[in-house]
């Protein structure tokens, strides 16, 4: 039994590396977002890279857009900051204020993404998981607790029908 449980167990999480990346995410976020410390953070990604100018972020050519996602319970605001997997830089923040969005919901199929429609012209789909293996594409960070808190905030205070 022990052999099979090891076989099917996911990769070990390097908590030191995860903490260092969480610290870098906080530093980048606070650098571009006023009152950044009032936001909780998760790492997310989007496949809709056309919404952000990733060329500004160290010439990233990836089809996956890396995002630092911050949320503030009091102002019911989500802030999305584009970044790159090595967290060497970031772009400008985009604010999604609850009072200004058209619609927001959790799309379970096919991507399990948090979807926000700021207007009738476009939307953003934020995907977020506890940890993703490919460090060339995704930021290495363990975020079980924060992701649960963001999901609760999104579903209970932010999402609309």
- CA distance linking residue 8 with residue 152, whole number of Å: 29
DSSP 8-state assignment for residue 66: E
- CA distance linking residue 64 with residue 58, whole number of Å: 14
Segment 1-18, tens digit of pLDDT: 444 444 444 567 789 999
Is 11-158 a CATH 2.30.29 domain? yes
Segment 64-92, tens digit of pLDDT: 689 999 999 999 999 999 998 899 999 99
- CA distance linking residue 24 with residue 30, whole number of Å: 10
> What pTM was estimated for this model as a whole?
0.84
- Alpha-carbon separation of residue 4 from 9, 51, 131 (angstroms): 8, 43, 22
């Amino acid at each position: 039994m022990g052999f099979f449980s090891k076989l099917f167990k996911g990769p070990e999480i390097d908590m030191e590396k995860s903490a260092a990346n969480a610290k870098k995410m906080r530093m980048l976020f606070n650098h571009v977002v006023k009152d950044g410390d009032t936001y909780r953070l998760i790492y997310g990604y989007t496949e809709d890279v056309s919404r952000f100018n990733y060329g500004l972020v160290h010439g990233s050519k990836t089809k996956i857009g890396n995002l630092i996602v911050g949320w503030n319970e009091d102002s019911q605001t989500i802030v999305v900051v584009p970044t790159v997997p090595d967290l060497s830089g970031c772009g400008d923040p985009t604010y999604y204020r609850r009072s200004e969005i058209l619609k927001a919901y959790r799309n379970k199929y096919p991507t399990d993404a948090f979807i926000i429609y700021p207007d009738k012209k476009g939307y953003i789909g934020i995907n977020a998981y506890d940890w993703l293996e490919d460090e060339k594409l995704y930021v290495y960070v363990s975020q079980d607790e924060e992701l649960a808190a963001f999901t609760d905030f999104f579903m209970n205070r932010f999402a609309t029908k």
